[in-house]
Amino acid sequence: MKFCSTCGSADIALKIPEGDQRARYVCPSCGTIHYSNPKIVCGVVPVFEDKVMLCLRGIEPRLGKWTLPAGFMENNETVEEGAQRELFEEAVAAVALGPLLTVLSVPYISQVHMMYVGIMSEAKYATTPESTEIRLFTEAEIPWKELAFRTVKTALEHYFECRRNGAFTLLNAKID
């Protein structure tokens, strides 16, 4: 950090603030403590009948790999709103949002990925600049070796396991 986002001072110091246990960027000019916290990624496992919708990434990272529609949560929205927004931005699709399926902590990149089950009432979707191809896959058709992220693989595996068991449970796990 080079400048304080509150007052603009270039006099920023990395130190442990009083009452804290971690080093933070602190502005001695105005006293602002600049916290750096994990980003929340929210998304959907969109389901139509017995198939799951996946998007072929049209952007980096992992351009050309298959993924679930998901992305960074924005300020002033709920996790559910963010998941619905990301689905629309990536696939021009809508779902009835179901249960929260996974909370996956990814500490090595300071992210938390939260995925919901989403039921599509119709197979209506379209490509966007973010997704160059969109398809519905049965479990046997999922391109497992072409998935973009480990969190996507984990969410899909958990979804299909829950579906086989007849009940959706929350998977709270750490991805190394």
Query: Rounded to whole angstroms, how far apart are CA atoms 158 and 114?
Result: 13
Cis peptide before 69, with omega less than 30 degrees from 0? no
Residue 128: what pLDDT? 97
pLDDT of 35 reads 94
What is the structure's pLDDT at 119?
A: 98
Question: Which amino acid is present at 17?
Answer: P
The secondary structure of the chain in percent helix, strand, coil, rounded to multiples of 5, reads 20, 35, 45
pLDDT of residue 12: 95
**What is the second-level CATH architecture of the domain 1-36?**
Single Sheet (2.20)
Question: Per CATH, which fold does 39-174 belong to?
Answer: Nucleoside Triphosphate Pyrophosphohydrolase (3.90.79)
Residue with tokens 């009452």: 19
Give the residue ranges of the chain where pLDDT is below 70.
none
| Rounded-to-integer distance, Cα 147 and Cα 159, Å | 15
End-to-end alpha-carbon separation of the chain, Å? 27
Domain-by-domain residue ranges, the chain? 1-36, 39-174
Q: pTM (2 decimals)?
A: 0.92
**Given this model, what pLDDT does residue 146 score?**
98
| pLDDT tens for each residue of 8-45 | 999 999 999 999 999 999 999 999 999 999 999 999 99
